[in-house]
Every structure is written in C-alpha cells, then in structure tokens.
C-alpha cells in the first residue's frame, strides 16, 4: 500500500466528525463465526479500522490482533480493551504468522495478493470469515478493484472448505459473506 493510500485512510478517519465509521453494530459475519470459536481463540482482524469487530470478539474472551494501515483509526477508537493488540502495518507487505490463528477476519477489506496467506495463517481447523462488497456486472462498466466478483471468494480460497456463504444484490451493489475452514 502506498504512502498516498495510507494518508487517504488516515484522512478518512480524521475527518469522520460524526463517528459514522466508529458507530453501528459489528458485521453480521460475527454471528456466523462466534459460536464456532474455541475459548480464548486467537483472532486476526485484517483492515480492522476502528475495532468494530475486535471489541465484541475481545468481550467474548478472544485474543485479537487488529491490523490496519491507518493509525488514525486506532487513535480515534480510543484505548484498546484487554484482549486486543493493535498493529499499524501495510498489509501489502506485512505477513501473518503461519498456523497461528483460530480465526482470520476481513470485513470490507480485500487484498487479492494476500488471499493465499490467509489460509496459511489459520491453525488446523481454523476459520476464515469474509464480508465484502460484491460488484454486480453492469454492461459496459468495469469492476472496481476493491469489490469481489460474484463467486470470486471461492476461487481465491479454494484451498479451504466453504462452510457457508451468501451473496445478495442490493440495487447496483452486492454484499457477500463467506465462512471457510482449514482442514484439521
């Protein structure tokens, strides 16, 4: 990720005067995965931003490593509660520890080059939970790089077993939720 991209995200979080990125419920994908996690699971939250997913995971007793390029998101989120470690890192270059996590979580964060390393970061039996915008093909329109194509998540994570998914259209945009598991 370029310095310009880092500055862009720091600017987005700094200019969020109403706290819209900091409020609201956690992503619905957590409802799918929370009941499956072992006690004190190790969780990697990629592109975590203001800790909206990390906080409820830590409240359940899980140990969360929240990684984001924008230090401003962590600053604005305030002090991390027990169970959350924050790391400012460029996810284009940072590498997760292999076989270290019970859950890798990415909500509205897409990095196709990182995809093969996500499965490798899971412990045997670990889960990969994704929630992302899905581009709906429009005649004559390109697909934005930060959106998945319908079904693309299956190809990106073909090394993992798909447990559950949904891809829903909402006007000109879609939302995808995907839950994968690494073999034991």
For residue 171, the model assigns a pLDDT of: 64
Q: Are 21 and 14 in contact (CB under 8 A)?
A: no
DSSP state of 24: S
Task: Kindly report, residue by residue over 92-138, the tens digit of the pLDDT.
Answer: 889 999 999 999 999 988 888 889 899 999 999 999 999 998 887 66
User: Of the given ranges (54-63, 134-143, 158-167), which has the lowest mean pLDDT?
Assistant: 134-143
**Which pLDDT score, from 0 to 100, does residue 76 have?**
84
What DSSP character marks residue 149?
P
More confident residue, 141 or 163: 163
DSSP 115: H
Whichever domain contains 141, its CATH number is: 3.40.50.150
Query: Is 174 inside any structural domain?
Result: yes
In a domain, 133, yes or no: yes
For residue 7 the two structure tokens come to 């500055």
Q: What is the pTM of this model?
A: 0.89
Total domains present in the chain? 1
- Whose CA is closest to 103, among 141, 143, 136, 56? 56
Percent of the chain with pLDDT over 90: 55
């Amino acid at each position: 990720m370029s310095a310009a991209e880092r500055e862009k995200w720091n600017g987005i979080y700094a200019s969020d005067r109403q706290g819209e990125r900091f409020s609201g419920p956690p992503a619905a994908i957590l409802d799918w995965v929370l009941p499956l996690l072992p006690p004190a699971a190790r969780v990697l939250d990629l592109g975590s931003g203001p800790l909206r997913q990390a906080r409820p995971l830590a409240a359940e007793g899980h140990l969360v490593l929240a990684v984001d390029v924008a230090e401003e998101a962590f600053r604005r989120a305030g002090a991390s509660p027990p169970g959350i470690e924050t790391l400012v890192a460029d996810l284009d270059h940072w590498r997760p520890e292999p076989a270290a996590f019970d859950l890798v979580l990415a909500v509205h964060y897409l990095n196709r080059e990182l995809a093969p390393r996500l499965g490798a970061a899971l412990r045997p039996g670990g889960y990969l939970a994704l929630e992302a915008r899905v581009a709906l093909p429009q005649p004559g329109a390109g697909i934005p790089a930060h959106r998945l194509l319908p079904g693309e998540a299956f190809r990106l994570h073909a090394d993992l077993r798909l447990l559950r998914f949904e891809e829903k259209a909402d006007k000109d945009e879609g939302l995808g939720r995907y839950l994968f598991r690494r073999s034991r």
